[in-house]
């Protein structure tokens, strides 16, 4: 079961911020099936997806197989939740197709958000959308 969170493209309207973050980050390429993030790992960076698709998957001892929470694509952020709260990754992320992304250090990303409150507000809106999508998924799973 999957719930799409839609196309948030949080940073698309801030080209100067994107350029600064991209310059501070490292471009990475992933093949279909490759992990970008592993559930439980330390949250030291986030990704800005340049191209491709990434499935966000949750594993649990109660589940026979991972549940796909969302699919993310061009212009979307991935891994921001752990960077914001400093806790381990809450889910894994796997490339569904060949994917290119910029990996940005968590400290650098937090500095950029602190300098640009309008972008921080958009990130909060994106997180709220994702939380609502997760709530919808949980409601669908109830008997």
- Predicted confidence (pLDDT) per residue in 63-99, tens digit: 678 888 889 999 888 999 999 999 999 999 999 999 9
* Dihedral sign for Cα atoms in the order 57, 103, 89, 14: negative
Mean pLDDT, rounded, for 42-68: 89
CA separation, residue 83 to residues 37, 45, 46, 51, 106 (Å) = 12, 6, 7, 22, 5
pLDDT at res. 3 = 32
Average pLDDT over residues 96-103: 96
CA-based nearest residue to 106, from 47, 44, 49, 48: 44
Residues in the chain: 143
Q: What is the mean pLDDT of residues 130-135?
A: 82
Q: Is the pTM of this model over 0.85?
A: no
Q: Which fold has domain 15-135?
A: Jelly Rolls (2.60.120)
């Amino acid at each position: 079961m999957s719930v799409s969170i839609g196309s948030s493209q949080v940073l698309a309207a801030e080209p100067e911020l994107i350029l600064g973050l991209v310059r501070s980050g490292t471009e990475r390429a992933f093949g279909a099936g490759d992990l970008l993030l592993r559930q439980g790992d330390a949250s030291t960076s986030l990704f800005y997806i340049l191209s491709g698709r990434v499935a966000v998957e949750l594993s649990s001892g109660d589940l026979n197989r991972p549940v796909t929470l969302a699919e993310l694509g061009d212009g979307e952020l991935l891994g921001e939740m752990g960077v914001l709260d400093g806790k381990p990754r809450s889910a894994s992320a796997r490339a569904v197709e060949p994917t290119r992304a910029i990996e940005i250090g968590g400290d650098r990303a937090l500095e950029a958000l602190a300098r640009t409150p309008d972008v921080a507000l958009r990130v909060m809106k994106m997180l709220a959308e994702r939380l609502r999508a997760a709530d919808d998924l949980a409601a669908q799973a109830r008997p």
